[in-house]
Homo-oligomer: A and B are copies of this chain.
């Protein structure tokens, strides 16, 4: 089969690789219908994290189940399934506690040291899925082709934006600031609206993203960053800041912006993978009773709830994909995201 392999900085190739085989009894082979490129994939692509050997890549996909092992009971051949950006059993204590990204038996796509051997990266034609009954969520019937982008968003960005909102305690009438206007930040806006926020401020400098932010539920847009951005946020909220701030970037600057945008007693929900050495400033947090909650989003725990609304047409994160390419053009997909010509690229094998 064909799958994407990253060889080094700015060197992504679609190559012929061995087709996956069932090995554990509880696994499944899924034919990928749609995958995508994640902001975190740009880290090795840009050379920020070194690529030590050719590595399979991609962790977001939806597809059709081709084969299942003899111990798979819930997932059937022919099901249309959504996979989270990791695999998990949904039976261990962490999964049952709602933190399936910390599954005691789970792991990451594209990793050779996984239950039963290799679990493929998602930017390819097929993926072997460990503990398929836990990892995969099947739609009740074959979905409309038009729904595929929104279903694919449940693999990562929609669930991750939702996790930011849940972690910050967004509820009815909450005031919310979203730091970051990438796909996750945009989905966080959708999530905040869905949870009943009364006012949602998008921090965004890009006209196209501002437009989508407003479509997703942003009531206000602030282009400034740093001191001026904080000042503008505070001016909207009695000079104090917002109840909830959703940090969807992961830099020292974005976290600083988030903390300073929260009112005393407010809460940061953060899902941006922390970059750089900056730690959280405990004295500032202590003095203002601003809490910090979040982490690697347990999107698997959210899929059923969000899926119902996607299928009903009431939740539509699909527009975060602003470019669609065949898998054969995966190198261009990375380049487009690297050069900010696209927010998020959907790939079709």
User: Do A94 and B280 touch across chains, with their CB atoms under 8 A apart?
Assistant: no
Number of interface residues of A (CB under 8 A): 37
Interface mask (A258-299 → B, CB under 8 Å = 1, otherwise 0): 000001110100100110001111110111111111111010
Residue among A97, A101, A267, A296 having the largest count of chain B Cβ atoms under 10 Å: A97
- A274 and B281 alpha carbons, distance in the complex (Å): 10
User: Do A294 and B298 touch across chains, with their CB atoms under 8 A apart?
Assistant: no
Contact of A292 among B98, B274, B285 (CB under 8 A): B285
Q: Closest residue to A252 on the B side, CB-wise?
A: B282
Contact status of A280 and B279, CB under 8 A, knowing A93-B240, A102-B264: yes
Residue among A94, A264, A281, A283 having the largest count of chain B Cβ atoms under 10 Å: A264
B-chain residues with CB within 8 Å of residue A99 when the two chains form the complex: 264-265, 288-289
Contact of A263 among B97, B270, B274 (CB under 8 A): B97
Q: Is A135 an interface residue (CB 8 A)?
A: no
User: Do A287 and B296 touch across chains, with their CB atoms under 8 A apart?
Assistant: yes
Contact of A291 among B265, B273, B294 (CB under 8 A): B294
B-chain residues with CB within 8 Å of residue A270 when the two chains form the complex: 286
Contact of A282 among B101, B167, B280, B291 (CB under 8 A): B280
Contact status of A102 and B288, CB under 8 A, knowing A97-B265, A279-B282, A281-B279: yes
A-B pairs with beta carbons under 8 Å apart, 15 shown: A93-B238, A94-B240, A94-B264, A94-B265, A99-B264, A267-B293, A278-B282, A279-B279, A280-B280, A280-B285, A286-B296, A289-B295, A289-B298, A291-B291, A291-B294
